[in-house]
Structure formats: C-alpha cells, structure tokens
Amino acid sequence: MKKNNRIIYWCQACGHQSPKWMGRCPDCGQWDSMVEQTAPSGPASAARKALADRPEPVLIDAVAMDGEERIRTGVDEFDRVLGGGIIAGSLVLIGGDPGIGKSTLVLQVLQHLAREKRRVLYVSGEESTRQLKMRSRRLAPQAPGMYVVSEIDVDAVIDMVHDQKPDALVIDSIQTMFSKDAASAPGSVTQVREATMKLMVMAKQTGIPAFLIGHVTKEGAIAGPRIMEHMVDTVLYFEGDQNHVFRILRAVKNRFGSTNEIGVFEMKESGLEQVPNPSAVFLSERAKNAPGSVVTACMEGTRPILVELQALISGSGYGTPRRTVLGLDYNRVSLLVAVMEKKLGLNVAGQDIFMNVAGGVRVSEPAVDLGIISAVASSFLDRPVADGTLLLGEVGLTGEVRGISHLPARIAEVEKMGFTRCIVPKNSLKQVKGAGGIELVGIRRLSEIMDILF
C-alpha cells in the first residue's frame, strides 16, 4: 500500500511546526497562525541537495580574494547603507510598508547599473512586463541592458539566471515565489523558506548578487519565517510616513558593512531623489524664535544629522494628562519629564505634553536628552531658545549632564549649518581641539541650562 503523507502544522509567523493543530503557537505566541501542510516524505529539495555536496575544507589564508571589489550602483545613499557597494554573491532583503517605494528604489538602482553597461534582471511576481515598462519609463527614458520578466516559479527563475548570466537579480516579491518541491501555496512559510534557500544557493554558487523585496506585516516585521532574515546577508528596511516625502533606508543586518548607516531619499513624481544634506532639508521650514522649538544633532552611523525637536505644553482638560510622542522614545521622554520636575522645579505633571520630531524622522540616541528637556521647558515657560543655539547631552536621573560620542563630527555639521552657539557636556569638550567660529558652552548639571537659555 502507498504510504500516506504525514500532516504537520506550521506557524505562519515564526515557522514552528507541530504534529497537531493548536490555537496559539507555543513558540511566538501568535493566535490562529497554525496551518495544515503536508510534510515532504521524499528526498530533500534541490537546494538542500546542493548544500549536501559540501566541498573539502581549505585554509582561510589560502582562499583567493580576486575580484572582491564592490559594485557601485551610482545611487550614493544606497551604496552608503550597503557599506560602499554591492558584494558579489550577496543576498539582500529589502522590506517596508506597502507603497513606501521599495520597488521604485530597486528599479532605479537597476537602471543606474544598466546605464553602466551591466546586464540586470528584474523578476516580478506581482506586475506584468507592460506595467514594469510603464513604471520604468516614468523613472528614466531608457534602460539598456535591463531585462524584465513576470514569473513566480523559482526554479524557472534560476534557469533564466543560468542562461542570461546577469550582473544583478531582483525578486519582487519573495512572497510570490513558488517552488514545486514544497507542497503548499505561495506566500506560506514553507514556500518562502524554500524559495529563499534556493536563491541563496544560486547567489553563492554563481556570484550574482540578488535583491529580495519582502512585504511587511502590520506588526512591522517582514512577512514570512524569521529564518529568512538569518539566511540573507543584508536586511534593509525602507521607512517613512506616506504623509511625508522623506524616506529612510536603514540596515538592521549587514555582514559586509555597518548597521548604523542610513540613506535619505525624497519621493517625487519622477521617483526617489537622494538627499545628500538631510540637515538642511529637515531645518528648511523651521520657525525662528518659536517657543518649544529646539535643534539638536543625532548620529546615524558616521553621519551627523541636525533635527528639530518640537514640544507643546497645554493645560489638561481630563483627570489624566496626555502624553503624545512622535519620533522619540515615549519612555525616555517620560523619564526626562520626571527629572525636570524633580531637579528644575517645573510643575508639568498636570499638563498635556506633545512632542514631535519635524520631518518624520525617528531619533533614539540619548545624546538628544538635553534638547528634549529644553524644548519642554521652552514651551512651558513660553520663552523661545535663542536663534543659533544647539543643545547636546545625555541627562541622568540625578540631573547630571553626561558626555556624548562623536562630538567633533557633530560640531562640524553644526558649524556648516550656520549655528553660533552649542551647549554640550563639559566632560566632552576635551574631544574638540578647535571649535572654529562656534561658541561652546560646557555644563555639568541640568540646573545650569535654565540660567543659560532663559
């Protein structure tokens, strides 16, 4: 008699498997995420067979490094996030909210590579070739050397790669890819994992860099099993608010570069345009001598960016005051407000507090603590911070102002943007050898800031 296939249940959120159905996944805690699938009873898939044929170990000093130079795409902000360019044979996963511009970004990168006489292949499982042509013509008039195809069979895509031998490959999106070796529907955990594994093996064997575009769930994570992020070399998130024109490309994993770098783009009718000087853009519409408005400098990788912190304090009409924070850590702001009440004597406990980072940017480092406190105090006292003043410093629970890193780089950006005075931690002044035309004011305690600003 023919042996029946074994039935197992996979969690669509994390990939956990169980012999029986459960309402809640015991691994990730998601409800109603277990789906029934047939476990493969035959030989391993083609990808696992390829991995099984392991070569003999060699000495690491004997490994040849010829031809390992990075491929420059011509989009400097994209190259910056990757660590200087594309590595041959790398597998890059790009995620982001629907409509944020993932496909537009990758299509523009391929167009730049095609204009440099490189052969590129764009595989779409969501659009037809006519739709790709319409979008490509809107971004650039011509793209010689760029091939497009509408296909969801991952095995057929790999055969095309071996025939065409492109210099770069894009899969849009990985959730639409289908493998015959997995008995499940496209988009399931098994299919996504199987397709990613096959593309990873292809990229390593051929040396062709591949970009995978992934959809993002409502929780903000890339849809599919978490193991997919472990298999790829680089994971990039394309962030931004659809109500703002600015988009930020951020690396959360990069085996060939730093994960602290970001790329800033501006969405226009002709596509995404690079923003080489984000500080000037974020401060272009700042109102001068406005209470509650303070400028500070945050570090994104090796790049200092000047941002405007806005605070609004108003009387509360309810028993419990409201705390609304956009672009900053809510818990950090609450902590700093408590320090203000204790160390500065400002009674803001019964007031509604609203904070925002202008431009839709998100700031998380503690070096902007002094700017947050100054913005709240400025709005509470209804007194503006003097124009041309910038504040930097981390604030502790006892009211001390702690030192920060990369102060020379921040000061150089501050001077370039035309600011005349910078209030910094006194312990960090030893990092700066020369301040140029900027007045540096060092403070040790939070109480000193009130006398300096107000």
CATH of domain 280-453: 3.30.230.10
Q: What pLDDT shows up at residue 47?
A: 47
Angstrom distance (rounded) from CA 449 to CA 454: 8
Q: Which CATH class is domain 46-52+69-276?
A: alpha beta
Q: What pLDDT shows up at residue 295?
A: 95
Q: Is 97 within any annotated ligand binding site?
A: yes
Q: What pLDDT shows up at residue 242?
A: 67
Q: What pLDDT shows up at residue 200?
A: 93
List CB contacts of 356: < 8 A, sequence separation 6 or more. Answer: 309, 310, 325, 326, 327
Q: Is 188 within any annotated ligand binding site?
A: no
Pairing outcome for strands 303-315 and 323-326: unpaired
Q: What pLDDT shows up at residue 2?
A: 47
Q: What pLDDT shows up at residue 219?
A: 57
- Assign 3-class secondary structure to the chain: CCCCCCEEEEECCCCCEECCCCCECCCCCCECCEEEEECCCCCCCHHHHHHHCCCCCCCHHHCCCCCCCCECCCCHHHHHHHCCCECCCCEEEEEECCCCCHHHHHHHHHHHHHHCCCCEEEEECCCCHHHHHHHHHHHCCCCCCEEEEECCEHHHHHHHHHHHCCCEEEEECHHHCECCCCCCCCCCHHHHHHHHHHHHHHHHHHCCCEEEEEEECCCCCECCCCHHHHHCCEEEEEECCCCCCEEEEEEEEECCCCCCCEEEEEEECCEEEECCCHHHHHCCCCCCCCCCEEEEEEEECCEEEEEEEEEEEEECCCCCCCEEEECCCHHHHHHHHHHHHHHCCCCCCCEEEEEEECCCCCCCCHHHHHHHHHHHHHHHHCCCCCCCEEECCEECCCCEEECCCCHHHHHHHHHHCCCCEEEEEHHHHHHCCCCCCCEEEEECECHHHHHHHC
Q: Is 96 within any annotated ligand binding site?
A: yes
pLDDT single digits (tens) 123-139 = 999 899 999 898 888 88
Domain positions in the chain are 7-38, 46-52+69-276, 280-453
pLDDT single digits (tens) 254-282 = 998 888 788 889 888 888 999 888 888 88
Q: What is the mean pLDDT of each run of 10 residues along the chain (454 residues)?
A: 65 79 87 75 49 71 74 91 91 89 92 91 92 86 85 93 94 89 75 89 93 75 66 90 80 87 86 88 86 92 90 86 92 94 88 90 91 95 93 94 92 90 92 80 92 88
Q: Is 98 within any annotated ligand binding site?
A: yes
Angstrom distance (rounded) from CA 292 to CA 428: 26
Q: What pLDDT shows up at residue 67?
A: 55
Q: Is 84 within any annotated ligand binding site?
A: no
Q: Is 100 within any annotated ligand binding site?
A: yes
Q: What pLDDT shows up at residue 373?
A: 95
Q: What pLDDT shows up at residue 34?
A: 83
